[in-house]
Amino acid sequence: MKFFYPSIIVVLFFLSIFDLIVGLINDAVNFLNSAIGSQVASRRTIMIFASLGILLGAFLSSGMMEVARKGVFDPSYFYFSDIIFIFLSVMISDIILLDIFNTLGLPTSTTVSMVFCLLGAAFSIAMIKMTSPLNNEPFHHLALYIKAEKTFTISIGIFLSIIISFTSGAFIHYFIRYLFSFEYENRLKYIGVIWTGISLSSMTYFLIVRGLHSTFQGFIDENLTGFSLLVQGFIKWIHHNFFIFLLILFSTWIIIAKIFVSLGYNILKFVVLYGTFSLAMAFAGNDLVNFIGIPIASIQSYNIWKESGSPPAEKFHMKSLSGNVQVPSYFLIFSGMIMILTLWFSKKTKNITSTEINLSRQNEGPEKFLSNSFSRGIVRFFLHLGNRFFKLFPKRLLVQIEKNFKPKKIQKEESVAFDLVRASANLTISSILISIATVQKLPLSTTFVTFMVSMGTSLSDRAWDRESAVYRVSGVLKVIRGWFLTGLIAFTMAGITAAFLYFFKVWALSLLIFFILFVFYRSYKNYNKMQDLKIEEKPFFGIVNLTLETTLNKTFDILKPILEHIENIYKNSIEGITQENLKTLQKSRNNFLKEKENFASIHNSLIKVIRKTKNREPIAGILYLHIYNKIKEIIESSDIITNHTLFHVINSHKPLKYKQKKNLLTLEHLMIQHFHIIKKITKNKNIKKIKFYCVIRNQISKKIEGQMNEQVMGIIHKKYGTKNTFLMLDILLQSKKITESIKDIILLYKNALSHISSKKKDTLAL
C-alpha cells in the first residue's frame, strides 16, 4: 500500500490527458460550427483563430477551479482516501462516458458530466460512511457531506441556460436579421459597421477586460508588481468609468470597421473569426475545469497529505482542501497545448459537427431526425398561436417585415449551411453568455449555450419552415433528452465506480485501468468500422450544368454497385429459404439494410441533381428521375423478399415443399443471369453489344407465371397452407417486379443513347 496513492496520482495525471482529448473532441464543435457552417475562411485559418483563443482562455481559467475542489461536496467531512477515490471515479466515469458519445457522434455536455460525476461519487462514499457500523449516522446528515444548495444552484444554472440561450438567440437575432435581411451585402456600409462595433465591443469587454480581472483579483494584492499595479489601476478606472470605456471601445471598433468596409472587405468575416477566437477563449476559460480541475485537486490533496507527514489515509481529514489554492500557470499552459494538438489532429472532431449544422442549416437537405407526436403537437400549437398573434398587426407592416426575411432565390454554395449574419450572431451571443458565467464563477454548459443559441437564431431565420419544423423540433428535443440522460448516467456510473474503489482498492484500480484500455480499444475499432461503413457517394459533386450524356455516365456508376449488392442479397434470400438457414437469411437482411442506408444518399440528392440540369437539357433530369424511381422499386421489392423470408424461418413456419424449392432455385438461376446482363451494361456503358436480354426476361416471366399457376392448383388441392402461399406469392411477385424494373432501366438507357446519337448527327449535319 506504500505506493498505492502515488500510483493513483500518476494514473490521474494520464487520465487528465485523456480527459482533455475526449472533452475537447466533444466541445470543439461549440466554437467551430458557426465558422465552418458559414465557411467564413479555410479550415486552417479557422483552426488558427480557435487555437489562439484556447491558449489565452486556458491561462485565464484559474478562477473556476473551485467547483472541482469544493463546489459539490464539503472536503472537511471526507478522509484523504475518500477524496482520492471520489476524484478517481469521476475521471474514469467521465472519460468513458465522453468517449462513447464521441464515437457515436453525439454532442453532450462536459459540464453536466463532470458535476454529476462528482455528485454521484461523493453521494456514494458519503452513504457508505454514514451507514457503516462505526458511524451509523441519520440520513439527514447527508447535507453535511453534500452541498445540496450549491449543487442545486449549479444544476439550475446549467439547465436554465437552455431556456436563456434559446430565447436570447431567437429574440436578438430576429432584430439583427430584420436590419440586415438576407441581402445583407448592400447594408454592410451602415448597419454592418454598427453591428460590428456592438459585437466586437461586447466580446472585447467581457472576454479580455473581465477575464483579466477574474485572473488577477486572486493574487494582485500579494504580488504588487509594476504590471499588476497597472492592471489593477486600469480595472478600477473601468469600474468607475464604465460607460466612457464602453463608448471608447465602441468608437474604436466602429472606426476599424469603417476602414475595412471602405477597402472593400466583408467586415462580417472578421467578426466571425474574432467570435471564433472569443468563444474558444470562453470555452477554455469556463470548461477547462471539466478536464483538469479534478487532477489538480487530486495533486493538491496529495501534497496536503504528504506535508502532514503521510498519516493513515483513512483517518486524515481534508479540511485544508477547503481553503484557497492557487493553480500553477504551467498546468494551464500544458493543458491548453494538449487541447490545441487535439483540435488539429483528432479526426473525431469532424464527427460531431453534423447534428448542430443539420438542425440549423438554411438550405434544403436530408433531415437527420424523424418526427413524433410531441414535436407535431408543438408545431401545430405555435402555428395556431402565430396566426392569432399576427392578426393583431396591420398587413402592410407584416409585408414590410417579411421582405427582410425572404431568403435568396439562388443559393450559390450548397455546402454553406447559413450566412455570415447568423454566424456572427451565434458567436456574439454565445460568447457573451459564457463570459458572464465565467466572471461570476458559475459553471454552465458551453454545449447547451452554443447549441441552443444556434437553434434560436435558426428559428428567427425561418430555417424551421413548414417543410422541416417537425423534424428540427424533434431533433432538438432528442438532443436535450440526451443531455438529461448524461446527468443520470454520470451520477450512476461514478457512484458505482467510487464504491468499487472504496471496497476493493488495489484490485479495483487494476481492473478499472484494464477496463478503460479495453473501452478505448473497442471505441477505436468501432469508430474505424463506422467510418468504413459510412459510404458517402457524391457522384454529381462539382458539376454545375448537367447534360444527358453526363447523367447517363453518372447513373451507370451509381447503378453498378447497387445491382451487385442486390444480386447477392437476392441469391442469399432464395438459398436461405430453401435451406431454412436462419444465419444466411439474417445476413441477407442486414446487408439489405446497409444498402438501403446507402440508397438514402441518392434519395436525399434527388432534387439537387435535377436542379443542376436547369433549362439547358431537362431530359437529363427526367432520365435521372426515372432511373431513381426504378432503383427505388428494386429496393422496395428486395425489402419485402428479405423481410418475409426471414420472418418465415425465424418463426419456425413449415418449410417449402420439394417442388417449390426446386422451382425457386431455377428462378434464382435465371434472375442471376438477368442481373449479369444489366451489370455488363453498366460496366461497359454500352447496350449495343448486349444481346438476348429479352430472351432471359421472357424465360423469367414464363417461369413466374408457371409457378404461380402451380401455387394456385396446390391451394385448390390443399397442398399448401396460408403461410406457405403468402411467402411464395411475395417471392414470385417481387421477383417479377425486379425483372420489370431492370427491363425498364435497360430501355431508358437505350432511348437515352439513341437520343445522344441523333443529337450528335444533327450537330455534324449543321
pLDDT tens digits for range 375-401: 788 888 878 787 887 778 788 887 877
The set of cell numbers assigned to 520 is 478505448
Which of 273-287, 601-615, 618-632 has the lowest average pLDDT?
Answer: 601-615
Q: What is the mean predicted confidence (pLDDT) over 518-533? A: 68
- Which amino acid is present at 734? Q
- The whole-number pLDDT of residue 752 equals 77
Cα separation, 187 vs 728, in Å, equals: 68
- The whole-number pLDDT of residue 602 equals 75
Cα separation, 461 vs 468, in Å, equals: 13
Cα separation, 423 vs 454, in Å, equals: 9
Distances 319 to 69, 83, 86, 310, 426 between C-alpha atoms, Å: 11, 11, 16, 15, 43
The set of cell numbers assigned to 415 is 455546402
Q: Which long-range contacts (CB under 8 A, 24 or more apart) does 653-661 make?
A: 653/723, 653/724, 653/727, 654/721, 654/723, 654/724, 655/580, 656/577, 656/578, 656/724, 656/727, 656/728, 657/714, 657/719, 657/720, 657/724, 659/710, 660/707, 660/724, 660/728, 661/578
Cα separation, 410 vs 69, in Å, equals: 54
- pLDDT 10s digits, 169-198: 889 988 888 888 888 888 888 888 899 898
Between the two ends of the chain, the Cα-to-Cα distance in Å is 95
pLDDT band at 290 (very low <50, low <70, confident <90, very high): low
Which of 534-548, 570-584, 595-609 has the lowest average pLDDT?
Answer: 534-548
- The whole-number pLDDT of residue 493 equals 92
- pLDDT 10s digits, 684-732: 766 655 555 677 778 888 888 888 888 888 888 878 788 888 888 889 9
The set of cell numbers assigned to 428 is 456574439
Output the average pLDDT for the chain: 78
Give residues with Cβ within 8 angstroms of 18, minimum separation 6.
95, 516, 520
- The whole-number pLDDT of residue 216 equals 53
Ordered domains of the chain (ranges, CATH): 4-357+369-408+430-533 (no CATH), 548-765 (1.20.58.220)
- The whole-number pLDDT of residue 640 equals 92
| Residue carrying C-alpha cell 465557411 | 39
Q: What is the mean predicted confidence (pLDDT) over 105-133? A: 83
Q: What is the mean predicted confidence (pLDDT) over 558-577? A: 87
pLDDT band at 15 (very low <50, low <70, confident <90, very high): confident
- pLDDT 10s digits, 209-259: 555 555 555 444 444 455 556 766 776 777 677 788 888 888 999 999 888
pLDDT band at 496 (very low <50, low <70, confident <90, very high): very high
- The whole-number pLDDT of residue 323 equals 56
pLDDT band at 67 (very low <50, low <70, confident <90, very high): low
pTM: 0.74
Q: What is the mean predicted confidence (pLDDT) over 78-99? A: 87
Instruction: Determine the 3-state secondary structure of 146 from DSSP.
Output: strand
Higher pLDDT, 324 or 560: 560
- Cα 181 → chain centroid: 29
Asked if 106 and 359 count as a contact pair (C-beta separation under 8 A), the reply is no
Asked if 494 and 121 count as a contact pair (C-beta separation under 8 A), the reply is yes
Q: Please tell me which of 101-115, 194-208, 286-300 the model is most confident about, judged by mean pLDDT.
A: 194-208
Cα separation, 132 vs 502, in Å, equals: 13
pLDDT at 348 over 80: no
Write the burial class of residue 381 (CB in 10 Å: 0-12 exposed, 13-18 middle, 19+ buried): exposed
- pLDDT 10s digits, 259-275: 888 888 888 889 999 88
Higher pLDDT, 239 or 569: 569
pLDDT at 410 over 50: no
- The whole-number pLDDT of residue 212 equals 57
Residue 190 DSSP one-character state: I
Give residues with Cβ within 8 angstroms of 483, minimum separation 6.
108, 109, 112, 445, 447, 448
The set of cell numbers assigned to 683 is 460496366
Q: What is the mean predicted confidence (pLDDT) over 580-598? A: 87
Cα separation, 692 vs 78, in Å, equals: 85
Would you say the C-alpha torsion 710, 716, 717, 719 has a positive or negative sign?
positive
pLDDT at 98 over 80: yes
Q: What is the mean predicted confidence (pLDDT) over 43-62? A: 81
| Residue carrying C-alpha cell 423481410 | 643
Give residues with Cβ within 8 angstroms of 92, minimum separation 6.
15, 497, 512, 516
- Cα 233 → chain centroid: 45
